[in-house]
């Protein structure tokens, strides 16, 4: 192979992910030289507090609290942004791209909320913007979509994209226990943030889905427009009845094409207990992609954590470094000509449903419920009701599964069912995905 080429790397952030990146660059430097002809030199690293002890040893003078100086350093060819947050991270990335530097970021929130100007700036400057680490941590799903699967039209994508919610649902299912108990356990073990709202309510998964749609469908989807439900209403009863019906409950992020239209949604769903996604446990992530040529493929691995995320950052870094040192510069790392997605309205989305009602234990209840469903042309597939009530108010769970129906019809039916005098609590509706 030809001679080794030296490239300067600047990094903003030396916390969990940045520390892992610095470690990999030190430990794998011989491999990068020998296998890729690259000498990747970590020249400058900006942090908030340069006096803080660090787990990784860097030469004197590398660490600074002056992020703009790192970006402007002529010896820095590629900038890694692992500081997090929207501002000033967004301004730092824009400045670097406009200065002709490739940028690698692990910042999903930044790309989901402020991605368009960054992608345009990368395109205009003819540089790359790598963001493999921002979705599914160590799983090379972005690379698979933008490189390995380019021969395919992507037909659908089903992801378990959030480790916190997958941990909670797995533990509720395998150990028993309520949502609140398992959230507490996830927080103790470091799988959930002190404020887990964006994980629990599906926002995090929607942001990641929007980024996947950019590569899978060349579509620009704003995360705020993705219909989403969180997992906070899932109770032990739902986990148990789902199991009895042959399903597990998972928080799924789904995108499917319908001709030129794109259906996107994030919500808990019953999935057949034998399918691959049902068996993705704890904090792990997985994405099932169906391509027109290749058929279904599943990508599985750790969705977060120091070294898996750093692995993805360094993979982008090496990819961009190879492009930068190649005589023929390839296109920027990601498609920039994305079209605004033409969304399928939520009320038109068709799925099967699980419905858990809490009803008074008396004759004729099922007939009343069935009549309302029939008025909306929704047919019942299965019914479960166990024993007689032993509660004071005489209420029992009544479980129905329903054949495929548009969501709008289901919402109207449930609104009427909730008004029946025999129904004592609002119905719990969960979609079923027959993967």
| Residue 305 touching ligand NAP (CB under 6 A) | yes
Q: How far apart are CA 128 and CA 357, in angstroms?
A: 52
CA terminus-to-terminus distance, the chain: 46
- Name the catalytic one among 108, 208, 250, 256: 208
| Residue 304 touching ligand NAP (CB under 6 A) | yes
Identify whether the C-beta of residue 5 lies closer than 8 Å to the C-beta of residue 325.
yes
Shortest gap between Cβ of 4 and ligand NAP (angstroms)?
29
| Residue 123 touching ligand NAP (CB under 6 A) | no
| Residue 51 touching ligand NAP (CB under 6 A) | no
Shortest gap between Cβ of 63 and ligand NAP (angstroms)?
9
Of 164 and 257, nearer to ligand NAP (C-beta) is 164
Identify whether the C-beta of residue 204 lies closer than 8 Å to the C-beta of residue 162.
yes
| Residue 12 touching ligand NAP (CB under 6 A) | yes
| Residue 87 touching ligand NAP (CB under 6 A) | no
Give, for 408, the enclosing helix (H) or strand (E): helix 407-418
- For the four alpha carbons of 47, 49, 53 and 59, in that order, the dihedral sign comes to positive
Q: How many residues bind ligand NAP (CB under 6 A)?
A: 25
User: Residues 136-175: x/- map of binding to ligand NAP (CB under 6 A)?
Assistant: -x--------------------------------------
Q: Which of residues 251-270 bind ligand NAP (CB under 6 A)?
A: none
| Residue 107 touching ligand NAP (CB under 6 A) | yes
List the one residue from 15, 140, 148, 235 that touches ligand NAP (CB under 6 A): 15
Identify whether the C-beta of residue 78 lies closer than 8 Å to the C-beta of residue 314.
no
Binding range to ligand NAP, per CB under 6 A, among 8-16, 194-202, 268-276, 407-415: 8-16
Of 27 and 87, nearer to ligand NAP (C-beta) is 87
| Residue 83 touching ligand NAP (CB under 6 A) | yes
> What would the DSSP string read from start to end of 261-321?
EEEEEEEEEEEETTSTGGG--TTEEEEEEEETTTEEEEEEEE-SSHHHHHHHHHHHHHHHH
Phi (first) and psi of residue 381, to 5 degrees: -95, -50
| Residue 16 touching ligand NAP (CB under 6 A) | yes
Q: Is 250 a catalytic residue?
A: no
What is the CA angle 223-225-226, rounded to 5? 70
The token duo for 327 is 């005589």
| Residue 52 touching ligand NAP (CB under 6 A) | yes
How would you classify residue 284: left for phi > 0, otherwise alpha for psi between -120 and 50, otherwise beta? beta
Binding range to ligand NAP, per CB under 6 A, among 34-42, 72-80, 304-312, 372-380: 304-312
| Residue 37 touching ligand NAP (CB under 6 A) | no
> What would the DSSP string read from start to end of 67-95?
HHHHHH-TT--EEEE-S-SSTTHHHHHHH
Identify whether the C-beta of residue 45 lies closer than 8 Å to the C-beta of residue 64.
yes
| Residue 205 touching ligand NAP (CB under 6 A) | no
Shortest gap between Cβ of 133 and ligand NAP (angstroms)?
6
| Residue 129 touching ligand NAP (CB under 6 A) | no
| Residue 48 touching ligand NAP (CB under 6 A) | yes
How far apart, in Å, are the Cα atoms of 157 and each of 113, 177, 291, 297, 416?
21, 31, 9, 10, 33
Of 14 and 206, nearer to ligand NAP (C-beta) is 14
Of 159 and 305, nearer to ligand NAP (C-beta) is 305
Of 20 and 268, nearer to ligand NAP (C-beta) is 20
3-state secondary structure of 160: strand
Nearest C-alpha neighbor of 289 from the set 431, 132, 160: 160
Q: How far apart are CA 283 and CA 300, in angstroms?
A: 11
| Residue 17 touching ligand NAP (CB under 6 A) | yes
Binding range to ligand NAP, per CB under 6 A, among 43-51, 142-150, 323-331, 384-392: 43-51
Chain positions contacting ligand NAP, by CB under 6 A: 12-18, 46-49, 52, 67, 82-84, 88, 106-108, 133, 137, 304-305, 309
User: Annotated catalytic sites, by residue?
Assistant: 208
């Amino acid at each position: 192979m030809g001679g080794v080429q030296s490239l300067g790397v600047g990094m903003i952030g030396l916390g969990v992910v940045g520390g892992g990146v610095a470690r990999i660059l030190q430990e794998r430097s011989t491999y990068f030289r020998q296998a890729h002809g690259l000498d990747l030199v970590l020249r400058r690293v900006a942090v908030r507090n340069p006096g803080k002890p660090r787990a990784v040893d860097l030469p004197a003078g590398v660490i600074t609290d002056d992020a703009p100086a790192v970006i402007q350093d002529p010896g820095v060819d590629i900038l890694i942004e692992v500081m997090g947050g929207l501002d000033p991270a967004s301004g730092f990335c824009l400045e670097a791209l406009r200065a002709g530097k490739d940028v690698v970021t692990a910042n999903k929130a930044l790309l989901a909320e402020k991605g368009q100007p960054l992608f345009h700036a990368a395109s205009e400057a003819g540089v790359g913007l790598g963001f493999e680490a921002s979705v599914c941590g160590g799983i090379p799903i972005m690379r698979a979509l933008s490189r390995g699967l380019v021969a395919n039209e992507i037909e659908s994508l089903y992801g378990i994209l959030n480790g916190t919610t997958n941990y909670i649902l797995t533990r509720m299912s395998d150990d028993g226990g309520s949502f609140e108990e398992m959230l507490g356990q996830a927080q103790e073990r470091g799988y959930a943030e002190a404020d887990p709202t964006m994980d629990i309510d599906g926002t995090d998964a929607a942001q990641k889905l929007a980024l996947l749609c950019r590569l899978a469908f060349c579509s620009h989807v704003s995360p705020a427009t993705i219909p989403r439900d969180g997992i906070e209403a899932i109770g032990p009863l739902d986990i148990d009845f789902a199991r009895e019906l042959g399903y597990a409950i998972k928080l799924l992020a789904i995108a499917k094409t319908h001709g030129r239209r794109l259906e996107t949604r994030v919500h808990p769903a019953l999935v057949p207990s034998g399918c691959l996604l049902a068996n993705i446990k704890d904090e792990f992530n997985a994405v099932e992609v169906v391509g027109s040529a290749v058929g279904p493929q599943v990508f599985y691995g750790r969705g977060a954590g120091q070294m898996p995320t750093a692995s993805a950052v360094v993979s982008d870094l090496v990819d961009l470094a190879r492009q930068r040192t190649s005589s023929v510069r390839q296109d920027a790392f990601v498609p920039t000509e994305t079209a605004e997605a033409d969304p399928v309205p939520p009320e038109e989305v068709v799925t099967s449903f699980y419905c858990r009602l809490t009803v008074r234990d008396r004759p004729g209840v099922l007939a009343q419920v069935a009549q309302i469903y029939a008025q909306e042309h929704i047919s019942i597939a299965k019914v479960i009701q166990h024993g007689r009530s032993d509660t004071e108010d005489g209420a029992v769970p009544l479980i129905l599964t329903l054949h495929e129906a548009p969501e709008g019809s289901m919402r109207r039916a449930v609104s009427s069912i909730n008004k029946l005098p025999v129904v004592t609590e609002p119905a719990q509706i969960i979609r079923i995905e027959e993967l």
